[in-house]
Chains A and B, each alone.
Chain A
């Protein structure tokens, strides 16, 4: 059973471009969470999704950021018109259950905005 997959592992974008980060949860997991780790900061929750539904997006910036988890395919975190402050490590986690389940993390995507 492969773990949580994220790609790309590293992404470089210039200011104003779009960044698309992908996350494939563990097999059998239907809950996906996105977290962001800024340099020298702790991990911060961004968004929690189930298949085709956003459950909690309270941690996601109101502008430029969006997330989806379609019926088929990976979850996508999309950042439009990136700025230097978006440079961070973005981690995806999945779980089979909600409150009781262990969250399993992917290796992360390190985004660098030039």
Chain B
């Protein structure tokens, strides 16, 4: 069964701290992996997309890495700010198993950055 797991489920850090969110997946045959941000009661904002042939992607203070062989991705947030407080979702598009194009989501990590 293709699954995506995110650890920890919740994280609280003081402002300015660098932090890492973890995502693991059960099948190394993936097309791509996408990190999203979800604010309470709102939709999803795409942060970074990593294709299966890539090792990492960067956007501003965010850096996402991908290690297919170990089935892991990390989202690194530098110099965290209170505005970064949200739930971060990892989603994987697997390359086999009958599904075409749909994403498998983890349950997310709820991040709280304290001023």
Hey, which bits of chain A sit against chain B, CB under 8 A? 31, 33, 35, 41-45, 48, 55-56, 58-59, 91, 93, 95, 98-100, 102-108, 110
A45 and B42: CB pair below 8 A?
Answer: no
Contact of B104 among A45, A91, A93 (CB under 8 A): A45
A106 and B43: CB pair below 8 A?
Answer: yes
Check A105/B36 contact, CB under 8 A, given A55-B101, A56-B99: yes
The number of A-B residue pairs with CB atoms under 8 Å apart is 69
Taking CB atoms, residues of chain B closer than 8 Å to A104 are: 46
Q: Does B62 sit within 8 A of A, measured CB to CB?
A: no
Q: Render B22-65 as a binary contact track against A, CB cut-off 8 A, 1 for contact.
A: 00000000011010100001111110010100000000000000
Check A43/B105 contact, CB under 8 A, given A91-B43, A108-B43: yes
In the complex, what's the smallest C-beta–C-beta distance from B1 to chain A, in angstroms? 13
Taking CB atoms, residues of chain B closer than 8 Å to A42 are: 89, 105-108
In the complex, what's the smallest C-beta–C-beta distance from B40 to chain A, in angstroms? 11
Check A45/B93 contact, CB under 8 A, given A99-B31, A103-B46: no
A99 and B32: CB pair below 8 A?
Answer: yes
Q: Does B98 sit within 8 A of A, measured CB to CB?
A: yes
How big is the B interface, by class?
A: 20 to 34
- Lowest 5 CB-CB distances: which A-B pairs, in order? A45-B102, A105-B44, A107-B43, A42-B107, A43-B105
In the complex, what's the smallest C-beta–C-beta distance from B25 to chain A, in angstroms? 13
In the complex, what's the smallest C-beta–C-beta distance from B12 to chain A, in angstroms? 19
Q: Render B68-110 as a binary contact track against A, CB cut-off 8 A, 1 for contact.
A: 0000000000000000000001010101001111111111100
A2 to B5 alpha-carbon distance, docked (Å): 32
A107 to B38 alpha-carbon distance, docked (Å): 10
15 residue pairs of the A-B complex, CB under 8 angstroms, read: A42-B105, A43-B105, A44-B105, A45-B103, A55-B100, A56-B100, A56-B102, A95-B101, A99-B100, A100-B31, A103-B34, A104-B46, A105-B36, A108-B42, A108-B43
